[in-house]
Amino acid sequence: MKRFVEGDDRKQVALLPESVDDYIGQDNPVRVIDAFVDELDPAELGFSGTTPALTGRPPYHPGVMLKIYISTGI
């Protein structure tokens, strides 16, 4: 009977794309921000926390935080 919900293929390899990069189009401005920030030296620009502490939870890299900050302003 066709009145029941049909299940999905259980042999499906992946539900989502293989990488996060697959979600972002080639013409997305985030790619420019990513390339730009990768070329910067956070320590030279005066960012604090560029040398992680030996104890405690590791911080996020200042470059990653800058990418997030810039991309939220788009």
DSSP letters spanning 21-68:
GGGS-TT-HHHHHHHHHHT--TTTTT-TT-S--SSSSPPPPHHHHHHH
Mean pLDDT, residues 35-51 = 88
Q: What percent of the chain has pLDDT over 90?
A: 30
Its pTM stands at 0.65
Contact 63, 40 (CB under 8 A): yes
DSSP 72: H
Q: Which of 56, 61, 67 is nearest to 31 (CA)?
A: 67
Q: Look at 24 and 9; give whichever has higher pLDDT.
A: 24
What are the extents of the domains in the chain?
20-72
Average pLDDT score over the chain: 83
Q: How confident is the model at residue 28, as a pLDDT? A: 92
